[in-house]
Structure 1
Amino acid sequence: MRERQDARERRRAREFEAFAGGAGGRLLRTALLLTGDREAAERLLTRALARTYAAWDGLGGLGGEDPYERTRQELVARYARSARGRFRLLRPFRRGDLGPGLLARLTPQERLVVVLRLHEGVAEEQTAAALGVSVERVRALCARAVLTVAA
Structure 2
Amino acid sequence: MGGRRTDDFEAFVDARGPRLLRVAWLLTGDAHLAEDLLQTVLARVWPKWHKIADGEPEAYIRKALVHTHASWWRRRWRGEVPHGELPDRAALFDAYEGVEQEEALAAAVRALPVRQRSVVVLRYFEDLSVEETAKVLGCAPGTVKSQASKALRALRAVVPEPVRTSDE
Query: So what's the TM-score if we normalise by structure 2?
Result: 0.45
Bigger RCO of structures 1 and 2 (CA < 8 A, at least 6 apart): 1
Larger radius of gyration: 2
Greater percentage in helix = 1
Query: So what's the TM-score if we normalise by structure 1?
Result: 0.50
